[in-house]
C-alpha cells in the first residue's frame, strides 16, 4: 500500500499564523491620506467643514498645501478651522507620493472643480453644473468632480440625475459614506423611499456613529409609517450627537405622532435650547400645548413662532386656531387671512378662512 505524503505540522501552522497576521494588518491598516482634489470635492459636494476637518485630522494629507491651494479652499467655503487643520496636517507618506487617481493631477479638471466649488458656494447652481461637466470632459472618471456635480444637480432639484452621479462616485469608492448617504437622499426625493432606506443602512454599515445618517434613515422610516423604527433611529442620532437640534425636533415629532406628548415636549424643548432659531421646534411646542388643552401656552408659543418667522403660513394658521377656540374671532380672522395670503393653495387654511369669515359676518 502506497504511503500518503504528510504536510509538516510546523509549515502548516506557520502559514496559518502568517495568513492571520496579514488579515489583522489589513484590518488595522490606516486609511489613505486625503488628496488635494478630495478636500475640494468634499467642500463642493456640500460636506460640512467640521466633518472634513475631522477627516483631515484622522487621515492626514499626501501633499504640501501651497498658499494658492489654501486660497482655493477658502474660496470653496473652507472655514478657519479646516484651513488650520490642512496647514498643520503632516503627510503620512513621508518621502513618497501616493499613486494618482484618475484625473487627480489634471490641471484643467482641478481648475473646473475649484470654479464649480466657488459657484456652488454662491448658489449659482446652473453655472456650477456647466463647469463641473466641462471638467468631466477631460477627466470622466474623477469621483470628486462627479460628487460635486451630484450636489449641484441636487440643488437644482434634478434628483434622478443626481442619483446617477452619486452611483458613479461610489464606483470609485463603494464605502464612501457621504456619497451613499447623499444617494439615499436623492432616491428618497425622487420617490424611491424603499431603495433609499437600503442605501441609508448601507451607509451606516460603513459609518455606524453618524448622527446625520441615523436622522435621515429615521425620516425615511417615518415617511413609510414605521414610527417605532423612526423613533429608534432618531434616538441613535441624538445619542451620537446630543447637540443636533434637528434630530431632537424630529424625535419629538415622531413621539407626538405616537401620542407621547410629554416626551415630545421635552425633545422640542431640548431642540429649542440647542438652537434658539429653530422655529419648527417652537411651532411644534405650541401645537402640543394646544393638543393638551393649554390654550394660553399655545397662543404664546404661536406668537413667538410668528414673530420669528412672519412668512410661515402654518404659524399664522396655528395662532388662528387657538384664537378661534378662545373666542377671539377677529384675531383668528386676521391670522387666517395672513396664512391664506402666504399659502393660497392650502385647502385647510382656505376652509378655516372661509368659515371664520362667515362666523364674523353672522355676528354683526
Which of 25-34, 108-117, 139-148, 218-227 is predicted with the least confidence, judged by mean pLDDT?
25-34
Q: What is the pLDDT of residue 185?
A: 93
Is the predicted pLDDT of residue 66 greater than 50, yes or no? Answer: yes
Q: What is the dihedral of CA 290, 296, 302, 308, to 10 degrees?
A: -150
234 within domain boundaries:
no
174 within domain boundaries:
no
Phi, psi dihedrals of residue 319, rounded to the nearest 5°: -65, -40
166 within domain boundaries:
no
Is the predicted pLDDT of residue 11 greater than 50, yes or no? Answer: no
Q: pLDDT tens digit string along 232-269?
A: 999 999 999 999 999 999 999 999 999 999 999 999 99
117 within domain boundaries:
yes
Is the predicted pLDDT of residue 15 greater than 80, yes or no? Answer: no
pLDDT confidence band for 51 (50 / 70 / 90): confident
Backbone angle region of 71, left / alpha / beta, with phi > 0 → left and psi within -120 to 50 → alpha = alpha
Is the predicted pLDDT of residue 147 greater than 90, yes or no? Answer: yes
Q: pLDDT tens digit string along 304-350?
A: 999 989 999 999 999 999 999 999 999 999 999 999 999 999 999 99
C-alpha cell at 174: 463603494
Are 282 and 314 a contacting pair, CB within 8 Å? no
Q: Percent of the chain having pLDDT more than 90?
A: 65
Are 298 and 330 a contacting pair, CB within 8 Å? no
Arithmetic mean of pLDDT, 33-43 = 89
* Residue ranges making up the domain that contains 61: 33-93+103-156
Is the predicted pLDDT of residue 177 greater than 90, yes or no? Answer: no
- Measure the CA–CA gap between 2 and 127, rounded to whole angstroms: 79
175 within domain boundaries:
no
Q: What is the pLDDT of residue 32?
A: 81
Q: What is the pLDDT of residue 90?
A: 56
Q: What is the pLDDT of residue 298?
A: 95
Which of 103-112, 142-151, 223-232 is predicted with the least confidence, judged by mean pLDDT?
103-112
Highest average pLDDT, of 34-38, 59-63, 317-321, comes from 317-321
C-alpha cell at 96: 513618497
Mean pLDDT of the chain: 86
Q: What is the pLDDT of residue 63?
A: 84
321 within domain boundaries:
yes
Number of domains the chain contains = 2
CATH code: domain of residue 302 = 1.25.40.10
Q: What is the pLDDT of residue 30?
A: 60
164 within domain boundaries:
no
Arithmetic mean of pLDDT, 179-191 = 92
- Measure the CA–CA gap between 209 and 240, rounded to whole angstroms: 6
Is this structure's pTM higher than 0.85?
no
Arithmetic mean of pLDDT, 279-298 = 93
Q: What is the pLDDT of residue 96?
A: 41
DSSP code string of 316-332:
HHHHHHHHHHTT-HHHH
Q: What is the pLDDT of residue 206?
A: 86
Q: What is the pLDDT of residue 29?
A: 54
Is the predicted pLDDT of residue 23 greater than 60, yes or no? Answer: no
Q: What 8-state DSSP symbol labels residue 121?
A: H
- Measure the CA–CA gap between 60 and 72, rounded to whole angstroms: 19
pLDDT confidence band for 285 (50 / 70 / 90): very high
251 within domain boundaries:
no
Amino acid at each position: 500500500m502506497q504511503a500518503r505524503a504528510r504536510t509538516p505540522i510546523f509549515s502548516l501552522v506557520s502559514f496559518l499564523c502568517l495568513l492571520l497576521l496579514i488579515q489583522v494588518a489589513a484590518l488595522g491598516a490606516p486609511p489613505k491620506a486625503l488628496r488635494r482634489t478630495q478636500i475640494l470635492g468634499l467642500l463642493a459636494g456640500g460636506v460640512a467643514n467640521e466633518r472634513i476637518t475631522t477627516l483631515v485630522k484622522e487621515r492626514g494629507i499626501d501633499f504640501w498645501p501651497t498658499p494658492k491651494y489654501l486660497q482655493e479652499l477658502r474660496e470653496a467655503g473652507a472655514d478657519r478651522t479646516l484651513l488650520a487643520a490642512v496647514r498643520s496636517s503632516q503627510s503620512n507618506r513621508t518621502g513618497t507620493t501616493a499613486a494618482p487617481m484618475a484625473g487627480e493631477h489634471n490641471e484643467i479638471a482641478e481648475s473646473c472643480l475649484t470654479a464649480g466649488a466657488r459657484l456652488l458656494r454662491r448658489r449659482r447652481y446652473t453655472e456650477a453644473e456647466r463647469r463641473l461637466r466641462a471638467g468631466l470632459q477631460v477627466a470622466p472618471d474623477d469621483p470628486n468632480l462627479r460628487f460635486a456635480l451630484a450636489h449641484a444637480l441636487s440643488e437644482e432639484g434634478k434628483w434622478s440625475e443626481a442619483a446617477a452621479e452619486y452611483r458613479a462616485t461610489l464606483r470609485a469608492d463603494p464605502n464612501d459614506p457621504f456619497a451613499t448617504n447623499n444617494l439615499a437622499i436623492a432616491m428618497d426625493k425622487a420617490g424611491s423611499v424603499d431603495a433609499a432606506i437600503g442605501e441609508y443602512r448601507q451607509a451606516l454599515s460603513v459609518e455606524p456613529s453618524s448622527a446625520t445618517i441615523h436622522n435621515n434613515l429615521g425620516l425615511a422610516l417615518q415617511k413609510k409609517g414605521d414610527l417605532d423604527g423612526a423613533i429608534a433611529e432618531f434616538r441613535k442620532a441624538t445619542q451620537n450627537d446630543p447637540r443636533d437640534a434637528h434630530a431632537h425636533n424630529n424625535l419629538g415629532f415622531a413621539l407626538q405622532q405616537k401620542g407621547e406628548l410629554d416626551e415630545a415636549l421635552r425633545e422640542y424643548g431640548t431642540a429649542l435650547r440647542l438652537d434658539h432659531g429653530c422655529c419648527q421646534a417652537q411651532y411644534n411646542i405650541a401645537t402640543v400645548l394646544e393638543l393638551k388643552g393649554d390654550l394660553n401656552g399655545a397662543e404664546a408659543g404661536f406668537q413667538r413662532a410668528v414673530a420669528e418667522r412672519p412668512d410661515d403660513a402654518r404659524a399664522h394658521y396655528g395662532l388662528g386656531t387657538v384664537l378661534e377656540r378662545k373666542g377671539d374671532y377677529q384675531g383668528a380672522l386676521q391670522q387666517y387671512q395672513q396664512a391664506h395670503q402666504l399659502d393660497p393653495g392650502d385647502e385647510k387654511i382656505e376652509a378655516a378662512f372661509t368659515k371664520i369669515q362667515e362666523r364674523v359676518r353672522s355676528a354683526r
